[in-house]
């Protein structure tokens, strides 16, 4: 199914409409260009730069963006390289930058990508899984990491209560000659490791948090977001907005703290102050939107300079 329902689309369009101008829209997570195509449609003078590290997503996005020829550039790179946009010839700064984090439905439903505990496929999970792509796959991590590293991954990225038990079970399985190459094998092993009453208490699929944790580790998702947020601020025009839709508390926490730091630095402020949630209607129609949270940061028109307002600030001759 080469589809993806864009989350909080009306809220993205409303944030874009509230800007004084929208000449340049940067989509850090182009995906299937769901948000971006609607932005180009609604703002006829806007130009788009869209990042995606997934070749298949870029191909579909290009088809979807075809009617807007001449108004978009697809960047085949990790969004951690956001700041480099400033080096592009003709790049006039961004009026809005959108992050719609995580994986698309396309990635989730294609078994061979290995993202889903519901479809059997190889334990890959690399978003940039092109021929010759570098980086550890989920199978590599499960084959190489020791109990401490696995525990940290499951605990820190999956907030998994049984991180240590699962990590120990995986390493024991390895010591007995067991290998993990498919998603179904990992699900089966987790079901074997965790006693049935624990699985019943977990609420949701017993492998859900482990899969999320492995995906975050394989793609260094927290590291990429960390770099990209500052990159986004560096290319943002005065008055511009950074819009982030996140799907788990780790991401949301990072975004919340970064926005707070930027405010303390005098760069701008969260606007609105509180995060936005999808409407009930949306969550009923699109299950994936249930965990979504949107935060928006607006850069001040003029950067406030602490020194400026001070009587004793040195003056230049």
> To the nearest whole angstrom, how small is the minimum distance from the Cβ of residue 300 to ligand SAM?
27
Burial group, residue 315, by CB count within 10 angstroms (0-12, 13-18, 19+): exposed
Residue closest to 57 by CA, chosen among 119, 10, 122, 102: 102
> To the nearest whole angstrom, how small is the minimum distance from the Cβ of residue 204 to ligand SAM?
20
Residues 104, 252: Cα–Cα separation, whole Å: 18
Closer residue to ligand SAM in complex, CB, 82/141: 82
Closer residue to ligand SAM in complex, CB, 210/224: 224
Residues 92, 137: Cα–Cα separation, whole Å: 37
Closer residue to ligand SAM in complex, CB, 35/155: 35
- Sheet containing 268-270: give its strands across: 72-75, 47-51, 24-27, 94-100, 236-246, 293-299, 268-270
HSE-CB of 108 using CA atoms within 13 angstroms:
14
> To the nearest whole angstrom, how small is the minimum distance from the Cβ of residue 36 to ligand SAM?
7
Closer residue to ligand SAM in complex, CB, 55/143: 55
Closer residue to ligand SAM in complex, CB, 54/95: 54
Residues that bind ligand SAM (CB under 6 A): 4, 6, 29, 31-35, 51-54, 57, 78-80, 100, 102-104, 127, 224
Closer residue to ligand SAM in complex, CB, 194/224: 224
> To the nearest whole angstrom, how small is the minimum distance from the Cβ of residue 17 to ligand SAM?
18
> To the nearest whole angstrom, how small is the minimum distance from the Cβ of residue 33 to ligand SAM?
6
Neighbours of 95 (CB within 10 A): 24
> To the nearest whole angstrom, how small is the minimum distance from the Cβ of residue 49 to ligand SAM?
12
> To the nearest whole angstrom, how small is the minimum distance from the Cβ of residue 127 to ligand SAM?
4
> To the nearest whole angstrom, how small is the minimum distance from the Cβ of residue 175 to ligand SAM?
34
Closer residue to ligand SAM in complex, CB, 110/156: 110
Closer residue to ligand SAM in complex, CB, 123/190: 123
Contact 48, 70 (CB under 8 A): no
């Amino acid at each position: 199914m080469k589809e993806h329902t864009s989350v909080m689309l009306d809220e993205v369009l409303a944030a874009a409409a509230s800007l004084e101008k929208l000449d340049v829209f940067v989509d850090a997570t182009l995906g299937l260009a769901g948000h971006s195509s609607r932005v180009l449609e609604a703002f006829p003078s806007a130009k788009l730069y869209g990042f995606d590290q997934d070749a298949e997503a870029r191909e579909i996005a290009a088809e979807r963006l075809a009617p807007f020829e001449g108004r978009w550039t697809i960047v085949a790179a990790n969004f951690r390289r956001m700041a480099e946009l400033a080096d592009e010839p003709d790049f006039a700064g961004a009026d809005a930058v959108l992050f719609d984090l995580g994986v698309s439905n396309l990635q989730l439903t294609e078994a061979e990508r290995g993202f889903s505990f519901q479809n059997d496929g190889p334990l890959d999970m690399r978003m940039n899984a092109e021929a010759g792509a570098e980086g550890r796959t989920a199978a590599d991590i499960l084959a190489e990491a020791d109990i401490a590293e696995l525990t940290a991954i499951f605990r820190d990225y999956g907030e998994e209560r049984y991180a240590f038990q699962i990590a120990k079970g995986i390493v024991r399985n390895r010591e007995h000659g067991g290998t993990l190459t498919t998603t179904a094998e990992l699900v089966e092993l987790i079901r074997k490791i965790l006693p049935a009453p624990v699985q019943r208490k977990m609420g949701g699929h017993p492998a859900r948090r482990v899969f999320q944790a492995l995906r975050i580790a394989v793609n260094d998702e927290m590291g990429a977001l960390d770099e990209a947020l500052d990159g986004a601020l560096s290319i943002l025009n005065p008055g511009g907005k950074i819009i982030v839709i996140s799907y788990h508390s780790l991401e949301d926490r990072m975004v919340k703290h970064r926005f707070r730091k930027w405010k303390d630095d005098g760069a701008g402020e969260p606007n609105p102050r509180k995060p936005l949630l999808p409407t009930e209607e949306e969550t009923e129609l699109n299950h994936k939107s249930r965990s979504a949270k949107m935060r928006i940061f607006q850069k001040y028109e003029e950067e406030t300079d602490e020194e400026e307002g001070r009587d004793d600030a040195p003056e230049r001759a």
